[in-house]
Each structure stands twice: as structure tokens, then as C-alpha cells.
Amino acid sequence: MAQAPATEPSAPLVYVRDTPTETLPPPVYARGALAWFRENFFSDILSSVLTVAAIAFLVWVLPGLVRFLFLDAVWSAKDGGPCRVVGAGACWAFIAQKWQYFMYASYPIDERWRVDTTLIVGALLVVWLLWPGLPRKGLGGLLFFIAYPIFGCILLVGWPAIGLPFADTSLWGGVFVTLLIATVGIVFSLPAGVLLALGRRSRMPIVKFLSVVFIEFVRGVPFITVLFMANTMLPLFVPPYLTPDRLLRPLIGVALFSAAYMAEEVRGGLQAIPKGQYEGAMAVGLNYWRMMRLIILPQALTLVIPGIVNNFIGLFKDTTLVAIVGIFDFLAAVEAQSHDPVWNGPSVLTTGYIFAAAFYFVFCFGMSRYSLYMERKLAAGKKR
């Protein structure tokens, strides 16, 4: 390339600016509330259309919802009359009147303190186990997984020898049975799931084969069929004098079902533990069970806490299905009471469903938040 011809130094270039211009203020739509608004709601044509459509949808739905839930709702009533009026909203009076039934169903009124005690003790133990700051988790676990089931069983079923009359399981129902089924599932499924997961990774072919067959079989069939099977086939498998109680049968079904799902969760954790951990444990001379108990499982289980909690959420939702074998869980109690001729009416049923949904939502959402919190807490040590 040729050199550009030299210009006369005495003649300055008039078209070259030698002082910087004033900086302009940033465009009004790039900062502040307006920009935030634009960025989040109207960043392009599609986004604007969607925003308008979504707001239109909300305007269409929300006022009706608020009116149904609060403004037109019937807050107090002696029977379903005010709720049957055309245009009446949610029938909260129905919930207020029936909440005791939703809680205990037909459990003898004088004995309901037993249910309350069991629930409170259980809640305390759960808090002990889940609250990261509390000490002596080992003792808490021992109490929750071994002592509590025995304690709860004695208290709920009754033991005439110590002055607790029997409470027939056909009277049990409501929230308390829902929590009972969930607790049994959780208490049983965690240890059984760990054993099955260990079995699936075992080097003993028969143990491995049996674990795989059990896990895959249970995971391959719907929960309802497991319940059906527990209900119709368990009584056939045992001699007539051993026929399990009608509440016990679905509990066995729940326990087996959740154990298989838990096993897969735990197996995921076991597989994530590097081989060096196993080798290190063996090198210091630990035998299989000590290696698992002291080195592998604590790490593996912590890794899969979110998955385990997700399983519990699924289990909690699945407890509703026991209604198919005639167990009166919370949802079944709500459903049955909304057909009560005194209250019967379209808004009563809807109210019952909304109430039930809120109940399940609180529990499941709480569990999922807890799992997120634990996940973040456990990941904190790994973040750089």
C-alpha cells in the first residue's frame, strides 16, 4: 500500500473534532422503572402480545376467584341452605362445621387425645430430625424409626391392660390416617430402600437378582394394583387366623411400594460415591456393614436428600389412593361429608376440594421448599 500523501501541517483538518462532545444522558428506556418494565414485559412483539394476553386472562379469572373464595363466600351457617343460594361462593361454614370429622373421622371422641398425642410427638421428632441445628440426630433417628412406631401403635390401637381401650381401625380416618399412612411409608421405606439398594449393588448374584426383580416389578405396576393386591391377595397368602387387619393391608402395600422407589433413589447416591471411598474404607480394615454405615451411606444419603424428599412428596400425594380399598383418608372424608344431605350442594363439594387441595399443597410445598433449602445448604460447601 502506498504511503498516504503528507498534508500541510499548517492547515488543520477542519472536519476532525479535537474536543470530546458532552456525554448524552442514557436513553430514558434503558434505566429505571420504565426500562425494567420494558425488559420484563414488552421486550419484543411476541412478549408484548403474551403479556397482554396473560393480563387479560388474569383479569378474566381473578375477580371471579376472589368473589367465589372471599366476597360471596358463606362464612357461617347452620346447614347447607345459604350455600345453595344461586350465586353463593365457597361454603367455609361447611369446613368450620366438619373440621373435626376431617381430622379424626369416627375415632371415638373421648379417645381423640391419643391421636393428638401421637401426632404431636411425631411432629416433634420430625422437627428434631429435619432442623439442621439440633444435636443428637442419631438418637432422634433411633426414636423416630424404632421407638415411635411402637409407641404410636400402642397409643392408637389401644392396650386394655394399661387402661387404653381398643379403637377399632374401621373407625379410623381423616387427616390422621393420611398422616399415618405417610409416616408408615416413610419409616419403613427408608431402611428397606437402603437394604434393597445395597442388594441391587451386591456382588452376590442371588441377592442382586431378587432385589432387581422386586424393584423393577413394583416400579412397573401402578400403585392401585399394588393396593388391590395387598387387599385381595394378602388374606389368601396366610392362614385364616392370621388375616391382616383391613387397615394393615394397604399399609403393607404402601410400605413395599415406597421401598422400591426409595431403593432407586438411594442407588443413585451409592453410584455417585467415588470408588476411592470404598477402597479407603476397606484399606483401614472396615468390614462391609461398617464401611456402609460409617463411610458410604452418610455420604450417599446426603447426596440424594432432594430425591428422597421428592419421593416423600409423591408418597404423601399417593396416600389418597387408599380410598380404593375402603380406607377413609382425608380426601375420602371430605368427599363423603360433602354428600351429607344437610350440606349437599355444588359449592360445598368445590369448597371441600379447595380445602383439601390447600391441605396437600401446604405439606407438599413445605417439603419441596425444605428439599431446596437442604440442597442449597449442602451445596454451599462445594461452591468455590
Please report how close the Cβ of residue 104 comes to other proteins at its closest, in angstroms: 20
Candidates 239, 274, 276, 381: give the one binding other proteins (CB under 8 A).
239
Candidates 318, 327, 333, 343: give the one binding other proteins (CB under 8 A).
318
Q: Using H for helix, E for strand and C for coil, what is the string for the chain?
A: CCCCCCCCCCCCCCCCCCCCCCCCCCCHHHCHHHHHHHHHHCCCHHHHHHHHHHHHHHHHHHHHHHHHHHHCCECCCCCCHHHHCCCCCCEHHHHHHHHHHHHHCCCCHHHHHHHHHHHHHHHHHHHHHHCCCCCCHHHHHHHHHHHHHHHHHHHHHCEHHHCECCCCHHHCCEHHHHHHHHHHHHHHHHHHHHHHHHHHCCCCHHHHHHHHHHHHHHHHCCHHHHHHHHHHCHHHHCCHHHCCCCCHHHHHHHHHHHHHHHHHHHHHHHHHCCHHHHHHHHHCCCCHHHHHHHHHHHHHHHHCHHHHHHHHHHHHHHHHHHHHHCCCEHHHHHHHHCCCCCCCCHHHHHHHHHHHHHHHHHHHHHHHHHHHHHHHHHHHCCCC
Number of residues in contact with other proteins, rule: CB under 8 A?
Answer: 57
- Contact between 344 and other proteins by CB under 8 A: the answer reads no
Candidates 204, 272, 294, 342: give the one binding other proteins (CB under 8 A).
204
Q: Which residues 22-41 are close enough to bind other proteins by CB under 8 A?
A: 39-41
- Contact between 317 and other proteins by CB under 8 A: the answer reads yes
Candidates 257, 262, 349, 371: give the one binding other proteins (CB under 8 A).
349
Candidates 82, 108, 149, 235: give the one binding other proteins (CB under 8 A).
235
- Contact between 206 and other proteins by CB under 8 A: the answer reads yes
Q: Which residues 113-152 are close enough to bind other proteins by CB under 8 A?
A: none
Pick 189 or 319: Cβ nearer other proteins: 319
- Contact between 275 and other proteins by CB under 8 A: the answer reads no
- Contact between 346 and other proteins by CB under 8 A: the answer reads yes
Please report how close the Cβ of residue 377 comes to other proteins at its closest, in angstroms: 20
Give the residues lining the site for other proteins (CB under 8 A): 39-41, 43, 47, 50-51, 54-55, 57-58, 203-207, 210, 217, 219-225, 228-229, 232-233, 235-240, 288, 313, 317-321, 323-324, 331, 335, 346, 349-350, 353, 356-357, 360-361, 364-365, 368
